[in-house]
A and B are shown apart, each in its own frame.
Chain A
């Protein structure tokens, strides 16, 4: 492994965002040339890199599987179907060459001669094509636009889109790393994962692990929004305190904070001070870091009303392939909406719970499960609000 002799590894948690600008020249100036002679699978394994697309799957495992099969294809995923997430778009605007470096290094490691970058945003696609053209990599990189739907970034949905089929998920019987794009073993990595690969290939596993936690090393990108005065994308180490992150975004006093996105879970206001952005700290709330979404529910809003809005969106975003999801999610969402709108029928709570249990594990993908998780968290964390609504009131109305 070669490290540019005059280059200093980013000394703190400003790693992905250390570059002064997105141009190739600024990239090389900050991070140096693309390293050669990298044993990437070993390095990624020692670094303990976990995927940054939401599932936190160990990156070395996927890498080794596709490398061992040969004749593979690598896909950099920036589909970012999660409405509350802006990290992939931001990363590609701020450090596109870190992502492309990661793509090239990964393709080299698995012997792939073709790679893709996928995005749902035409302006990002245009910018990426421009930046790809400025480089001299031997790897053939195609930038592909995918539909802007919630499920578009799911790995089998992405592969289907690249194969010219509808961009909806497939059953999990054949995984994409066995047979994917053009029936080849396919390695799908979130673009942020690729950017971390580009850095750890330069600065090593020890450096990578020098921040974060032993179980979740390194930094990640968090999109903080909702009742905050300075919403945006922040680079933080795993294990960072949730309130620290909220303060960085200028958060107002919160009823609760949604962590992980629309398939995530609520952390109640009373627990914010003791919660960290780590798997173990978030697990008791049914949440995980996921793709780094942190959405603040202000005291002037009602958790039930906002959650009903999210559930309605998720019901609208079903791929339409599986009966239990197509039927169950709208029913669950309707019942939740009626509760939120002021219906005083207590049977609505039972209906929501019944639908929630009925849809889990019965779809081709995790959309019904993730939605059920979000709704379960809503009813748990906002149980008091449910009681208020059944009594004819709403805390948000009272707050105004």
Chain B
């Protein structure tokens, strides 16, 4: 679910956990996506995400 809120950065692995969409595994979020990132963190039912400055 959280991955759907930030599809630019995240997808899900086969167990449903969020994982980076990028081949290098990077998780940096562009400032323009910050609100979406915050919502993804709040809504993740697995508490698997944290947003770090």
Q: Which residue of A lies closest to B27 (CB)?
A: A361
Instruction: Give Cα A324–Cα B49 distance, bound, in whole angstroms.
Output: 12
Chain B residues lying within 8 Å of A322, measured Cβ to Cβ, are 48
A171 to B47, CA, bound (A): 12
A391 sits at the interface (CB 8 A): no
User: Number of contacting residues on B, CB 8 A?
Assistant: 10
Q: Which secondary structure dominates chain B's binding surface? A: loop
A171, A327, A361: the one contacting B25 at CB < 8 Å is A361
The winner among B17, B25, B48 for most chain A CB atoms within 10 A is B17
Interface residues of A in 323-377 (CB under 8 A from B): 323-324, 327, 358, 360-362
B50 touches A323 (CB 8 A): no
Across-interface contacts of B13 in A (CB, < 8 A): 324, 358
- Decide if A171 touches B50 in the complex (CB within 8 Å): yes
CA distance A26 to B46 in the complex (A): 56
Closest to A322 in B: B48
Interchain CB contact under 8 A, B15 and A323: yes
CB atoms of A173 and B52 under 8 A apart: yes
Nearest CB on A from B13, distance (A): 6
Q: How far is the CA of A327 from the CA of B13 in the complex (A)?
A: 10
Mark out the residues of chain A between 81 and 122 whose CB falls within 8 Å of any chain B CB in the assembled complex. Answer: none
Contact mask for chain A residues 151-181; partner B; CB cutoff 8 A; 1 contact, 0 none: 0000000000000000000010100000000
A362: contacting residue among B16, B19, B50, B52, CB under 8 A: B19
Closest to A361 in B: B25
User: Quick check: B25 and A360 within 8 Å, CB to CB?
Assistant: yes
> Considering residues B15, B16, B50, which has the most beta carbons from chain A within 10 angstroms of its beta carbon?
B15
Interface string of B7-21 (1 = CB under 8 A from A): 000000101110100
In the bound complex, how far is the Cα of B19 from the Cα of A317, in angstroms?
A: 23
Could you mark each residue 27-53 of chain B with 1 if its beta carbon is under 8 Å from any beta carbon of chain A, else 0?
000000000000000000010101010
Known A323-B17, A358-B13, A362-B19; further 4 A-B contacts with Cβ < 8 A: A322-B48, A324-B17, A358-B19, A362-B17
Top 10 A-B residue pairs of the complex, sorted by shortest distance between their CB atoms: A323-B17, A327-B15, A323-B15, A324-B17, A358-B13, A361-B25, A323-B46, A323-B48, A173-B50, A324-B13
Could you write out 21 A-B pairs with CB less than 8 Å apart?
Answer: A171-B50, A173-B50, A173-B52, A322-B48, A323-B15, A323-B16, A323-B17, A323-B46, A323-B48, A324-B13, A324-B15, A324-B17, A324-B19, A327-B15, A327-B17, A358-B13, A358-B19, A360-B25, A361-B25, A362-B17, A362-B19
